[in-house]
Chain A
Amino acid sequence: MSHFIGKRLVQMAVVFVFVSMFAFSIIYFSPGDPLYLYTSPSVSVYKMTDEQLEDMRESLGLTGNAAQRYLNWAGKMLHGDWGLSVSNHQPVKKQIMDKLPNTIGLMGAALLLSVILAIPLGLLAGSYKNKWVDNIISGISYLGISLPAFWFGIMLIIVFSLKLGWFPSSGMRTIGVNSAADVVRHGVLPVIVLSVNNTAVFVRYIRSNTIEQREEEYVMTAISKGVPKIQVMYRHVLKNCLLPIITMVGMNFGTLITGSFIVESVFGWPGLGTLCMDAINSRDYTMIMGITMLACIVLLIGNFLADILYGFADPRIKRGEERENG
């Protein structure tokens, strides 16, 4: 196991470096000047001299060619210095860390809700394949896959906030109120929007695996021995459906950081989404790199954890790896 973990960590480090170089190159070679805020009359009232601009470039690490700037950035990153935002000259790390819990909370709740809803629905659909139950659940899941998050979010706001007055339309907190219940209340609608698509996808996977597993001999044996169907589903079939779910959850880990951009905008949720969109529009490359690399780390860790959990979910996988590693 330790050999496996060591190997994966090295792989992750290599992937991380390649992603950082790729992301950096895209930003570096995209048109536009990171100091656009100071060179555009639309934003700045004073035209800085070339010397002044050069001084500012130096203080923000924007001098040198692509390789020099990358190495400069990477060196600082390794020491925990994520640089200063080009837009507001504030530390990137602090700004990201301030917003990160808000996004993780939202996405984490959405992911959890998706899994909780998808498991019973997928099992149900798979158990009653081509029956009306399956048709309804499948129909809803197709709808969930197709619904645009932006539109669905606005619809929920109109119905549940404007018409019914059950939930606030935006924000994470009510001004002047400092309670977890208030935050949860603000989070209900965005979490629903975020979970719809994932739930629909997970339902399809679980349904498909359930149908596959139901054909297996152990299931027929258990049923013929008189084991209640629901027990067969949850004690035996579900375990074997877990592998693809673990894969999907692991792959969705990266979305903990990046999956809520649109929904955060619709609901005014103060997370990384808005921070990243502003950074992209203003070519704030230090902020873009900070968020991109954070998303990369989270994705890599998610996949790593998924691989580890595989071993626990299916001992055959663990035994196979042990044989491979000697």
Chain B
Amino acid sequence: MKKKLIGMMLCAAMAASLLAGCGSSGSSGSDTAGQTEDSAGQEDKEDAQEQTKDTDDAGDEESGSDSLVIPVSATVTNLNPLLESMAEGAMQLSPYADELYYVDQEETRYYLAESCEVSEDGLTYTLKLKDNLKWHDGEAITADDVIFTADCNVNTDNGAGYTNTVFIGEEQVKYEKVDDLTVNFTIPQPSASYMAVLGHLQLIPAHAFDGNTDIASAEANLTDIGSGPYQLSEFRDGEALVLEKFEDYYGDAPQIDSVVFQVISDPSAQEVAFKNGEINFLPAASDATAEEFKSAKGAELHQLGEGRVKYLAWNKFCDTWKDKDAVKAVFAALNQEEIVAGAYGASMGILANAIFSNQNLFYDDSIKGYEQDVDAAKELAEKSGLAGKTIKLHYNTDRTYMEETALMIQQQLKEIDVNVELEGIDANGFFDVVFTDQADYELYLNEYAAIGDPDSVVAGMYDGTWGINVDTSQEILDLFQKGRETTDMDERGVIYTELQQKAVDEYLVYPIAYPNYCFVTSDSLQGAEHYTTTPVFEDYTKLSFK
């Protein structure tokens, strides 16, 4: 009897503890997005048109919020910016660790660096730090930290992400301390993109690691080793990264008290959290979401070029393309506008016209891309023997809109009597299959980052560095080399315009779309419109809530 009584009490206690939070208000959430679940619930109850109300009032409750809360699919695993290679991780560490400077199409914006001068021969870069820099622990940022950071990148076992600042190809860059604030970097051969590459470097403090460059598993990675406008407040791996403003920041004082990166991996759950007021930043995962918030009250949609190129390429090892007319037939058959409208909608992408993205330093929007001509395509398909064939198209399933694009290509090529078998592969397997010399498929869909200087990633895509399956002519390779060696920006512009045009003329690849990065913020957030590059935001001190 006694046992039964105890058992029943335990069950009741368990049930009670599970329902412990029922009905309580969300006051403990107020320091995140300045929003309580109570007020969200009350507002929703008062409005008869719930669907419209949810959208219209999204973010409305954020007025006066002192925290910017951004959802992420996962937190960084540590706080060392050198060890973070994913775009989302870089976004999280952006307010926490400053870059040296940022080279844009219009200007160069300096952060930790005061200047970076290039010698006449283009081989020596003299980097000078500002003289009032402090780490979050109060120690001064000096040239020793620059040297230490470079040393860490030389040790490639670390998996450090800025190896391209200390290696040009297989040759190491030499660097030496000139004085407490100045370091000279001497590159082995001229590389015009090195200026932009070096600027992206985020420093780590030598004193935190005791000068030990074996940083991969260092305990210091979980301490506050940042240099940006926000310092570490709380780090819960897998839950949230909470940053608060750093009072001793060398630049403009941050206007928002804290920036929180909260793990909400599901896009639907993110949307609910935004409408609920738990977050005040929402990446628009689809065109439908972007359209919904375009005219929503209390919310503002932002669209930035993501700096990527989505493209269709032909397999140079496949006999189907021995006759180049077959390639021309495919390119002429495609209706690019229909593909982009169908796959990307009105907000998530724009027509691509060149192999450089619209965020590239030397992008030329006057380059004419491919136009559809179905009659010519049919003729070319007949002539080359492509008509009546069944060809295989691989697409990367880990990239957005690839499947939709593939389906539309399949439909459009039917018009010229070409059957397309589609095969989606995840990213890891995709690279294994597509970027080898396998000849058993004809086409593939992929994308690459083409932001900044074309000599960084874009050149590597086409000159064989990454083993990408494209048939780049020697003339285009020569133009990439010329662009690399020329330091005059105007001259480089001419070279790269010629290069982009040649890529079109030679049917190198079919650039389909430049994807947009769309995000929604509460309309009380000011300053987001200043930024035109991803990952957001380059300078968090420009953001504020009205």
Contact, CB under 8 Å: A174 / B32? yes
Q: A46-B163, A171-B239 are in contact. Are A162 and B272 (CB under 8 A)?
A: yes
Contact status B269-A282, CB under 8 Å: no
Whether A168 and B26, one on each chain, are in contact in the complex, defined by CB atoms closer than 8 angstroms, is yes
For chain A, the bracket of interface size reads: 35 or more
Instruction: Write out the residue numbers on chain A whose beta carbons fall within 8 Å of the beta carbon of B273.
Output: 169-170
A163: Cβ under 8 A from any B Cβ: yes
Q: Are B269 and A267 in contact (CB under 8 A)?
A: yes
- Chain B stretch 1-53: residues in CB contact (< 8 A) with chain A: 11, 14-15, 17-24, 26, 28-29, 31-32, 36-42, 44-45, 50
A157 adjacent to chain B (CB < 8 Å): yes
Contact yes or no, A40 B238, CB < 8 A: no
Query: Of all chain B residues, which has the CB nearest A157?
Result: B272
Question: Is B106 among interface residues, defined by CB-CB distance under 8 A?
Answer: no
Give every chain B residue within 8 A of A166 (Cβ-Cβ).
22-23, 37, 41
Complex alpha-carbon distance, A113 and B457, angstroms:
53
Judge if A317 is at the interface, Cβ distance under 8 Å: no
Interface stretch (choices A12-20, A67-75, A82-90, A200-208): A82-90
Q: Which residues 37-63 in A have Cβ within 8 Å of B in the complex? A: 37-49, 52, 55-56, 59
B83 touches A46 (CB 8 A): no
Contacts of B17 in A (CB 8 A): 184
Q: Is B468 an interface residue (CB 8 A)?
A: yes
Q: Is the CB of B272 within 8 A of A174?
A: no
- Check if B265 sits within 8 Å of A268, measured CB to CB: yes
- Which residues from chain A contact B162 at a C-beta distance below 8 Å? 45-46
Q: Give the number of chain B interface residues (Cβ < 8 Å).
A: 87
Q: Tell me the complex Cα distance, A74–B426, Å.
A: 28
B275 → chain A closest CB, angstroms: 6
Contact between A165 and B38, CB atoms less than 8 A apart: yes
Q: Give the complex CA separation of A60 and B356 in angstroms.
A: 36
Minimum CB distance partner of A182 in chain B: B28
Q: Is the CB of B41 within 8 A of A174?
A: no
Contacts A42-B448, A166-B37; is A270 near B238 (CB within 8 Å)?
yes
Contact (A46, B461) CB under 8 Å given A38-B159, A162-B54, A185-B21: no
Neighbouring B residues of A275 by C-beta, 8 Å: 238
A173 to B162 alpha-carbon distance, docked (Å)? 35
Task: Determine if B263 and A175 form an interchain contact, defined as CB atoms under 8 angstroms apart.
Answer: no
A137 interface residue, CB < 8 Å from B? Answer: no
Residue of A nearest to B446 (CB): A42
Task: Considering the complex, give the chain B residue whose CB is closest to the CB of A116.
Answer: B11
- Interfacial chain A residues near B495, Cβ < 8 Å: none
Q: Bound complex: CA of A270 vs CA of B22, how far in Å?
A: 22
Instruction: Select from chain A the residue with minimum beta-carbon distance to B268.
Output: A154
In the complex, chain A residues whose CB is within 8 Å of the CB of B164: 45-46
Residue B156, interface by CB 8 Å: yes
Contact present for B41 and A163 (CB under 8 Å): yes
Give the residues in chain B near A95, CB-CB below 8 Å. 77, 237
A47 and B432 within 8 A (CB): no
Asked if A147 lies at the interface with its beta carbon under 8 angstroms from chain B, I say: no
Contact of B159 among A41, A89, A267 (CB under 8 A): A89
Question: Given the known A-B contacts A162-B275, A175-B262, are A169 and B269 also in contact in the complex, defined by CB atoms under 8 Å?
Answer: yes
Q: Mark A256-275, 1 if CB is under 8 A from B, else 0.
A: 00000000011110110011
Stretch at the interface among A28-36, A138-146, A318-326: A28-36
State whether A90 touches B78 (Cβ < 8 A). Answer: yes
User: A-facing mask of B203-239, CB < 8 A → 1, else 0?
Assistant: 0000000000000110000000000000000101111
CB < 8 Å neighbour of B278 from A40, A113, A169: A169
Question: Which residue on A lies nearest to B73, using beta carbons?
Answer: A274
Question: How far does the Cβ of A272 sit from chain B's closest Cβ, in whole Å?
Answer: 10
Task: Tell me whether B266 and A40 are in contact (CB under 8 A).
Answer: no
Q: Would you call B217 and A162 a contact (CB within 8 A)?
A: no
**How distant is B60 from chain A, measured CB to nearest CB, in Å?**
14
Interface-central residue, A161, A176, A268, by most chain B CB under 10 Å: A268
Say if the beta carbon of A278 comes within 8 Å of chain B. Answer: yes
In the complex, chain B residues whose CB is within 8 Å of the CB of A87: 77
Do residues B50 and A163 form an inter-chain contact, with CB atoms below 8 A? yes
Which residues on the B side are within 8 Å of A187 (C-beta)?
Answer: 18
- For window 176-194 of A, CB contacts with B under 8 Å fall at 176-177, 181-182, 184-188, 191
Complex: A175 Cα to B31 Cα, angstroms: 7
Of the residues B20, B28, B74, B448, contact of A177 by C-beta under 8 Å: B28
Is B376 in the interface zone, CB < 8 Å from A? no
Task: List residues of chain B with CB within 8 A of the CB of A31.
Answer: 425, 428-429, 432-433
Tell whether A36 pairs with B18 under 8 Å between CB atoms, given A170-B269, A268-B264. no
Given the known A-B contacts A165-B37, A172-B239, are A45 and B264 also in contact in the complex, defined by CB atoms under 8 Å?
A: no
A176 and B14 CA atoms in complex are apart in Å by 26
Instruction: Report Cα–Cα, A40/B432, bound state, in Å.
Output: 10
Contact check, A169 vs B272: say whether CB atoms are below 8 A apart. yes
Q: With A41-B457, A165-B26, A171-B240 as known contacts, state yes or no: A281 contacts B426, CB within 8 Å.
A: yes
Is A304 an interface residue, CB under 8 A from the partner? no
Binary A-proximity of B277-302 (CB < 8 A = 1, otherwise 0) = 01000000000000000000000000
Inter-chain CA distance A90–B158, complex, in Å, is: 11
B456 within 8 Å of A by Cβ?
yes
Known contacts A30-B429, A42-B448; 5 further A-B pairs (Cβ under 8 A) = A47-B465, A90-B216, A162-B272, A169-B278, A268-B262
The 6 lowest CB-CB distance pairs between A and B, nearest first, are A185-B21, A165-B41, A32-B428, A270-B238, A165-B37, A31-B429
Q: Can you report 7 A-B residue pairs in the complex whose CB atoms are below 8 A from each other?
A: A31-B433, A32-B426, A45-B163, A46-B162, A169-B278, A184-B20, A185-B24
Give me the interface of A with B, judged by CB distance under 8 Å.
Answer: 30-33, 36-49, 52, 55-56, 59, 84-85, 87-91, 95, 98-99, 102, 109, 112-113, 116, 154, 157-158, 161-177, 181-182, 184-188, 191, 265-268, 270-271, 274-275, 278, 281-283
